[in-house]
């Protein structure tokens, strides 16, 4: 049994990952963001048989002392804590530097000092910007087209520099657009589902021409676990993507079909990114993940996407879940 520090454990991907780590008999110290309501994010909804095995630590990734305290006695670190909403990064870029770059530095410093056996650092496909060549391999140029993506480029490079400078065993895991149960309403798939579920048929979206490589959350979790179970990825950047691209407009129509609804899409200007900031195309090559990690997506291609969407829609359709979302409000 290995003891894992999981930062961002209360978030969308982090909560799914925490649950799967417990199922696989890892000891999990779940680092969640401290708040006055003692909320543990999505871990509050985890099954009791999972929660009883979680060692929950409330703190702030920007606080080096808290990060060091949380990391004591841990064998490996899965670093997912980050600010990820692109529109909010236009509004408050300083917080992205402090959380995504400074927070990552705190994790790396502590991991180096405690000599942990593995650090999995979470990147994002947004660091590539609009694809210059497709499918996107890990040696594609990096383009900071938003303050968010720029902060993640900085964090990624810090992580890789610690491996090169100090031998810190870092793997950079770079998920493409993850979707599934529990995802924030700021993301496009929950935005579409919740509007339709609320009875709306004129669906408000931003730009619908960009394409994305949507990766079901179970596959993203599988990618992290595959990286954790081998040392082959140390010093490497590894894409975790489905290898299939679809436009925002087309996925909206696919969701509507699965939900038995006829929709019209209305462009909402407040949801449109600045022209040069919009990432027009993302399509992952996952060949490196297959080669180094033995990982490949189970929800691949158009049929895999439909299967993942069906599970996502089913989760959102439950009243106890849908009631957590505000379908009529735009989320930064």
Arithmetic mean of pLDDT over the chain: 97
- Residue 283 pLDDT: 98
| Tens-digit pLDDT profile for residues 70-92 | 999 999 999 999 999 999 999 99
| pLDDT given at position 9 | 98
pLDDT at 330 over 90: no
User: Residue 1: what pLDDT?
Assistant: 67
* pLDDT tens profile 268-304: 999 999 999 999 999 999 999 999 999 999 999 999 9
Domain boundaries, the chain: 3-178+214-240, 181-212+245-282+300-322
| pTM score, whole prediction | 0.97
**Of 52, 39, 35, 36, which is closest to residue 10 (Cα–Cα)?**
39
Domain 181-212+245-282+300-322 has CATH 3.90.25.10: yes
At the second CATH level, the architecture of 3-178+214-240 is 3-Layer(aba) Sandwich (3.40)
Nearest to 57 by CA among 97, 15, 14, 6: 6
Q: How high is the pLDDT of residue 327? A: 85
How many Å apart are CA 218 and CA 13, to the nearest integer? 9
Residues 246 and 250: their CA atoms lie apart, in Å, by: 7
Mean pLDDT of all residues in 313-323: 96
Mean local confidence (pLDDT), 235-256: 98
């Amino acid at each position: 049994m290995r003891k894992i520090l999981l930062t961002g454990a209360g978030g969308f991907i982090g909560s799914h990952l925490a649950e799967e780590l417990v199922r696989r008999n890892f000891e999990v110290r779940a680092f969640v963001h401290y708040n006055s309501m003692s909320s543990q994010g999505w871990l509050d909804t985890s099954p009791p048989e999972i929660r009883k095995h979680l060692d929950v630590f409330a703190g702030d990734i920007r606080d080096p002392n808290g990060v060091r305290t949380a990391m004591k006695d841990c064998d490996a670190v899965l670093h997912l804590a980050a600010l990820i909403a692109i529109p909010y990064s236009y509004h408050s870029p300083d917080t992205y530097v402090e959380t995504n770059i400074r927070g990552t530095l705190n994790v790396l410093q502590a991991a180096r000092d405690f000599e942990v056996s593995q650090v999995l650092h979470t990147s994002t496909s947004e660091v590539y910007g609009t694809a210059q060549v497709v499918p996107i391999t890990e040696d594609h140029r990096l383009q900071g087209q938003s303050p968010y993506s720029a902060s993640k480029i900085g964090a990624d490079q810090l992580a890789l520099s610690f491996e090169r400078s100090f031998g810190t065993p870092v793997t950079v895991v770079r998920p493409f657009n993850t979707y599934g149960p529990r995802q924030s309403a700021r993301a496009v798939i929950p935005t579409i589902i919740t509007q339709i579920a609320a009875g709306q048929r004129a669906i408000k979206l931003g730009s619908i021409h960009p394409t994305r490589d949507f990766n079901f959350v179970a596959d993203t979790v599988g990618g992290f676990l595959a990286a954790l179970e081998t040392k082959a990825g140390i010093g490497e950047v590894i894409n975790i993507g489905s290898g299939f691209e679809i436009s925002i407009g087309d996925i909206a129509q696919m969701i509507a079909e699965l939900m038995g609804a006829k929709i019209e899409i209305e462009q909402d200007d407040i949801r449109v990114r600045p022209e040069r900031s919009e990432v027009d195309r993302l399509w992952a090559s996952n060949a490196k993940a297959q080669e180094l990690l033995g990982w490949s997506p189970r929800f691949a291609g158009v049929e895999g996407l439909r299967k993942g969407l069906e599970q996502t829609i089913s989760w959102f359709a439950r009243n106890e879940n849908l009631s957590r979302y505000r379908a009529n409000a735009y989320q930064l």
